[in-house]
Amino acid sequence: MQLSIIVPTYNEAPNVTELVRRIAAAMTGVDAEIVFVDDSTDATADVVHEVAASAPLPVRLIHRDVATGGLGGAVVEGMRAAQNDLCLVMDGDLQHPPEDIPILLRRFAAGDVDLVAASRYLHDGSAQGLADRTRVLVSRASTMITKAMFPIRLRDVSDPMTGFFLLDRRAVDYAGLKPRGFKILLEILARKSLRVAEVPFRFADRFAGESKASFRQGVNFLVQLTGLRFGKMSLFAIIGGLGAIANLAIMWALIELGMHYIPAAIIGAEVTIIGNFILQERFVFQDMKGEASGIWSRFAKSVGFNNGEALVRIPVIALLVNTWHLSSIIAAAITLVLAFIVRFMFHSLVVYAP
Ligand code: GDD
Ligand code: MN
């Protein structure tokens, strides 16, 4: 079996020697190379060169002067430069135990998957190495939010933010990736549907040095998350906007033809609701409908929701006007914005749920 082990490093000089020693010891019977992708300002590069000279397996260094994409960018660069299609990604600080690599390899060899992720949150796994309670909470909460935002893609993934995984790089669509900091696995899984398996592992304490996680990485993560989701949401908004215009045009035409405004408004609304459904099937949720319920069930849920929403909006406007003394236009605008968000959530989480 031929394997490329990709290790992103940022100032990990005191960890490199021990990491290479433990990887080499764990790689009996595997033809492996180690590729360090380094953005360090300390002596990491020197230590890698030193270790490479005497290591029992090939050790390569890619030193980047411009750290494009941070950790995630380094991982993608390592996958591009790897000798083998089978790539394992792990941190350089020994929080990912090299002794677990054979477990990932065995799961991959069992076949039927493109990627094996080592999870801190699967039954026997542990996130113990997340130094303090705040990080444990942040990690748990961001995992929950992320899973809620990608209910289908991440259905079988308990730890989409893990940095320890094995994949066949041919399954990844490099061109579409926009790596930004730490969450490279999420980027890979959210962009393309892959067959994923998980194995539990214990996130250990750092061997030496300090974590590079920071408030800035947190901001990076939120930008990445909205970027990944925004594509769908903005298409959904465009279709909704076009629908509103069509709604008014139909209403106007029917009134011109002599119809009373109430039936004209109802017909305009219904035609728009159905038109929106057809467009969103084709352009927004096309990648999700395969795993969702049948078309008539989706149709009933979507049309039912939109009609219910239109009915509920009127009393909500009245409520806002009467209790908060808002102008009716402002109240209507607030309900439209809220309705858009709720409608988007309802469609991604219910209508197109697997
Ligand atoms: N090349 C490169 N460039 N490497 C980086 C950079 C960078 O800008 N920033 C961090 N690294 C390297 C570190 O040197 C280390 O080898 C690895 O990426 C992980 O960084 P840590 O600083 O040890 O991160 P952590 O332990 O706090 O976070 C780990 O757990 C997170 C989940 O809680 C990582 O595995 C994250 O990927 C993971 O999301
Ligand atoms: Mn770490």
Residue carrying the six token digits 């809620």: 148
pLDDT score at 15: 97
**Helix, strand, coil in percent for the chain, rounding step 5:** 55, 10, 30
Q: Which two tokens stand for residue 339?
A: 């309705």
148 DSSP assignment: H
pLDDT at 75: 96
Query: What's the pLDDT score for residue 316?
Result: 85
Q: According to the model, what pLDDT value does residue 268 have?
A: 87
Ion ligand 2 nearby residues (CB, 5 A) = 91, 93, 95
Give the pLDDT score at 292. Answer: 84
Residues at CB less than 6 angstroms from ligand 1: 8-10, 12, 37-39, 67, 70-71, 74, 91-93, 95, 130, 139, 161, 163, 182-183, 211-213
Site to probe by mutation for ligand 1, drawn from 182, 206, 217 as the one with most ligand atoms within 8 Å of Cβ, is 182
Minimum-distance ligand 1 atom for the alpha carbon of 92: 16
Per-residue model confidence as pLDDT tens digits over 41-53:
999 999 999 999 9
Give the model's pLDDT for residue 224: 82
Is the Cβ–Cβ distance between 101 and 16 less than 8 Å? no
Residue nearest to atom 12 of ligand 1 (CA): 9
- Provide the greatest CA pair distance for the chain: 90
Laid out side by side, the sheet with 196-200 consists of 59-63, 31-38, 2-9, 86-89, 165-168, 115-119, 196-200
- Looking at residue 339, its pLDDT comes to 85
Q: Looking at residue 133, what is its pLDDT?
A: 83
Render pLDDT for 69-84 as a digit per residue (tens, 0 to 9): 899 999 999 999 999 9
Q: Which of 48, 2, 164 is nearest to 99 (CA)?
A: 164
The closest alpha carbon to 160, from 133, 191, 204, 205, belongs to 191
pLDDT value for 348 = 82
Tell me the whole-structure pTM to 2 decimals.
0.74
Q: Which residues of the chain are modeled with pLDDT < 70?
A: none
- pLDDT at res. 303: 95
Tell me how far apart the alpha carbons of residues 214 and 71 are, in angstroms, rounded to a whole number.
Answer: 13
Cα 152 from Cα 350, distance rounded (Å): 11
pLDDT of residue 349: 83
3-class SS at 350?
Answer: helix
Using the CB atoms, write b or e for 105-143: b if 16+ within 10 Å: bebbeeeebbbbbbbbbbeebebebbeeeeeeeebeebb
